[in-house]
Amino acid sequence: MKKIEAIIQPHKLEEVKEALKAIGIDGMTITEVRGHGRQKGHKEIYRGMEYQVDLLPKIKVEMVIPDARYDEVVKTLVASAHTGKIGDGKIFVFDVAEAIRIRNDDRGESAL
């Protein structure tokens, strides 16, 4: 099993959710986060004063999937979150040793 964490632009969330739903991925956790990468934030003017905004709003989408679905899910994430501009985000992939459904003690991929 793989855990996928995707950091995406907030305005792409609905498109990403719909694309994942279309390929049968229903279980995910969505978190509002803040951060920056190479873009290092931007300057804004508020009441005539300029200040640096260095932590930009992002969305983190997390899911655990069977190994067999890895390529399909990553391709779907990249295609649906892509704008071609700096700040599109990143995808991180981790191996998952075990998954356990608390309700009935299902284990492994059957717990997904």
Query: What would the pLDDT profile of 11-28 be if each residue is shown by its tens digit?
Result: 999 999 999 999 999 899
**pTM attached to this predicted model:** 0.84
* Cα–Cα distance measured from residue 55 to residue 9, given in angstroms and rounded to the nearest whole number: 13
Residue 51 pLDDT > 90, yes or no?
no
Question: Which of 16, 48, 55 shows the shortest CA–CA distance to 33?
Answer: 55
Architecture of domain 2-111: 2-Layer Sandwich (3.30)
Question: Which of 7, 109, 24, 1 shows the shortest CA–CA distance to 60?
Answer: 7
